[in-house]
Amino acid sequence: MKTLVAELCVALCVTAGIAMGASSVHEFTMKTLDGKQVPLANFKGKVMLVVNVASQCGYTYQYEGLQALYVKYKDRGLVLTGFPANNFGGQEPGSDAEIGAFCKSKFGVTFPMFSKISVKGADKAPLYQFLTDAKANPKTGGEIQWNFTKFLVDRNGKVLQRFEPEVEPQSREIEAAVEAALK
């Protein structure tokens, strides 16, 4: 019961951040695959790449590129955050434990992975409400169209760029944007 009350309090506070006009991803707290509540404020001072992921998608192979990108830039201040979502064709049906095991065994994922959320629709997670809000983020807002949409966030939690699923994690476009954000 205590856990449920704590989770409801976090959800209400996060939702209130949206209603009050959140201006940074650092204003959100998200649950990891192992159930821990992590304030994204823990990543202040780091550049973030926020990605909605899925284990049974045609783009699932991008986990490999995401991991390589993370390894290449993590010591310079990049943190990659994966948010499993089952919004597109039921391509993320597993539990948090199953998702974590899959990511580690198949792709050696070591970047932070969060609990499965919704990235579109009536039950869209507050973080994704913010990321896709055209008023808060006019250059990058708009509904998520598919898995592996990527948002580049600066060290202060402001959204810099959005990359659609077909843009590979190790593409020149993403690496140049990450390099610029890390300067």
Q: pLDDT by residue (tens digit) across 151-167?
A: 999 999 999 999 999 99
| DSSP H stretches of helix in 20-163 | 62-73, 96-107, 126-132
What residues are labeled active site?
A: 57
| DSSP H stretches of helix in the chain | 2-19, 62-73, 96-107, 126-132, 172-182
Residue 2 is predicted with a pLDDT of 53
CA angle 28, 31, 33 (to 5 degrees): 145
Mean pLDDT for 5-19 is: 45
Structural domains of the chain ordered from first start:
2-182 (3.40.30.10)
| DSSP H stretches of helix in 108-168 | 126-132
Q: What tokens does 70 get?
A: 């993370």
**Whole-angstrom distance, CA of residue 96 vs CA of residue 179:** 32
- Model confidence at 17, pLDDT cuts 50, 70, 90, reads very low
Q: pLDDT by residue (tens digit) across 58-108?
A: 999 999 999 999 999 999 999 999 999 999 999 999 999 999 999 999 999
